[in-house]
């Protein structure tokens, strides 16, 4: 017969049953909370996405000259109205005429 002060031992007799059960419960709670996390943090708005983007005007003289290029325009949008409030070239096309046409599109 066990004494009142000695805890009941589980399995191999090294740990008291209560300690084993608490560890198991803590592990299950932490694993289930990880599973339920979403990709975006709570309270964070979703990342913006392009719904419509105007194509810059490609003038006939630019086409005749064979001007081409790729660039990146950073567009600032008013959150309340959804209207463009600013635009700037982040990566130039390598040609001022094309950069200007890209900025004028916004």
For residue 97, count CB atoms less than 10 angstroms from its CB and return exposed for 0-12, middle for 13-18, buried for 19 or more: middle
Instruction: Establish if 65 belongs to a structural domain.
Output: yes
Could you tell me the pTM of the whole model?
A: 0.50
pLDDT number for residue 47? 78
pLDDT number for residue 53? 79
What H or E segment, with its residue span, contains residue 73?
Answer: strand 72-77
Instruction: Establish if 52 belongs to a structural domain.
Output: no
Task: For residue 89, count other CB atoms closer than 10 A to its CB.
Answer: 16
Domain of 99 in residue numbering reads as 60-104
Q: What is the count of structural domains for the chain?
A: 2
CB contact at 8 A, 20 and 11:
yes
Question: Which residue, 56, 105, 55, 57, is CA-closest to 84?
Answer: 105
Whether residues 31 and 65 share a domain: the answer is no
Instruction: Establish if 26 belongs to a structural domain.
Output: yes
Instruction: Establish if 66 belongs to a structural domain.
Output: yes
Task: State how far the Cα of 81 lies from the Cα of 66, in Å rounded to an integer.
Answer: 38
Instruction: Establish if 85 belongs to a structural domain.
Output: yes
Digit-coded pLDDT (tens) for 37-90: 555 567 888 877 778 777 888 788 888 888 888 999 999 988 888 888 999 999
């Amino acid at each position: 017969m066990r004494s009142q002060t000695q805890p009941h031992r589980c399995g191999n007799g090294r740990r008291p049953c209560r300690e084993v059960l608490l560890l198991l419960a803590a592990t299950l709670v932490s694993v289930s909370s990880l599973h339920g996390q979403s990709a975006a943090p709570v309270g964070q708005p979703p990342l913006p996405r392009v719904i419509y983007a105007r194509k810059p005007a490609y003038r006939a003289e630019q086409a005749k000259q064979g001007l081409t290029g790729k660039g990146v325009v950073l567009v600032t949008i008013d959150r309340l109205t959804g209207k463009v409030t600013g635009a700037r070239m982040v990566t130039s096309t390598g040609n001022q005429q094309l950069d200007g046409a890209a900025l004028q599109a916004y």
